[in-house]
Copies of this chain bind each other. A is one copy, B any other.
Amino acid sequence: MGTLRVTVWGENLHEQREAIVQAHYPRGMHATIAEGIEEHLGQRAHVRTATFEQPQHGLSEEVLAETDVLTWWGHIAHAGVDDTVVERIRERVLLGMGLIVLHSGHGSKIFGRLMGTTCMLRWRDAGERELVWNVAPGHPITRGLPEVFAIPEQEMYGEFFDIPQPDELIFISSFTGGEVFRSGCAFRRGQGRIFYFSPGHETYPVYHHPAVRRVIANAVDWAAQPGLAPYSTFGKALKSPTGWYAP
């Protein structure tokens, strides 16, 4: 059992409703994403999954307390995610849990709540070729990856992407139609690390793509901070009684 505890969250609704999605992901997208992480992190990681329809969406206090990194793929049920669970995730991220937000997760409550902006973008679903360019060589999320890789068919996501300027811009994509997108964006919030990665439309087999799997596994590894202690002012204004501090 690994020391890096990962929870892969999948909405798991498209998979039940659309034949094409089921064809690509017979056990659900979350299962494939989890598999890709295990493929790369092996014994170092302990990966489990959780889905929308489970009680508390599978994300109880207990589960989150045992999670170093949470990955998030959602789409049609964004509005249905319980606000209590969203706030619980947010608090955990600010205390140091990693969060990897995938593709249509840009519109999720948790991502919007952490970013503060609309996180909206332009899109077109026409099976276009996406080229993913590494603009941060040397960043741990790019380890073992080529300077560019192609995803044969993808939904186009294009600028303007309404996010705060990323702390580190890792990937920029172009599409057949000429659009560009900041497709890999790293943020630090509180003590936590967040990575948004846009490839991954449900009607294409994107999470079987070797480079995509590598990116997600690298991101999980980068975002994990097991054993981090919370800072003293978390969630409150801390009154300091003395001159400065008692050493």
Q: Please give the residue numbers on chain A whose beta carbons come within 8 Å of chain B beta carbons, in ascending order.
A: 90, 94, 96, 107, 113-118, 120-124, 129, 131, 133-139, 147-150, 156, 158-162, 164-165, 167-169, 172-174, 177-180, 182, 187-193, 225, 228, 231-245, 247
**Chain B contacts of A160 at CB under 8 A?**
133-135, 137, 147, 231, 233
In the complex, which residues of chain B have a beta carbon less than 8 angstroms from the beta carbon of A133? 158-160, 179-180
- Contact A159 to B134, CB < 8 A, known contacts A148-B244, A180-B180: yes
A96, A136, A178: most-surrounded residue (chain B CB, <10 A) = A178
Copies of this chain, how many? 4
B165 with A174: CB separation less than 8 A: no
Within the assembled complex, what's the spacing in Å between the Cα atoms of A165 and B137? Answer: 12
Contact B165 A94 (CB under 8 A): no
Contact B124 A179 (CB under 8 A): no
Subset of 20 A-B contacts with CB under 8 Å: A90-B116, A94-B117, A114-B116, A117-B190, A118-B190, A118-B236, A122-B232, A123-B240, A124-B240, A131-B244, A134-B160, A135-B161, A138-B191, A158-B240, A162-B234, A164-B164, A164-B188, A165-B169, A172-B172, A179-B240
Complex interface: chain B residues within 8 A of A189 (CB): 116-117, 164
Known: A133-B159, A240-B124, A244-B148. A174 touches B179 (CB 8 A): yes
A163 to chain B, nearest CB (A): 9
> Which residues of B are found within 8 Å of A192, using beta-carbon distances?
138
Given A178-B244, A188-B164, CB of A239 within 8 Å of CB of B116: no
| Docked complex Cα distance between A231 and B146 (Å) | 9
Set B107, B114, B164, B243: member contacting A177, Cβ < 8 A: B243
The reply to whether B165 and A118 contact each other, CB–CB distance below 8 Å, is no
B240 touches A138 (CB 8 A): no
Q: Is the CB–CB distance between A235 and B118 below 8 Å?
A: yes
Say whether, besides A120-B236, A191-B138, A178 and B243 are in contact (CB < 8 Å). Answer: yes
Does the CB pair B118–A116 fall under 8 Å?
no
| Chain B residue at smallest Cβ distance from A138 | B191
Q: Flag if A124 contacts B158 (CB, 8 Å).
A: no
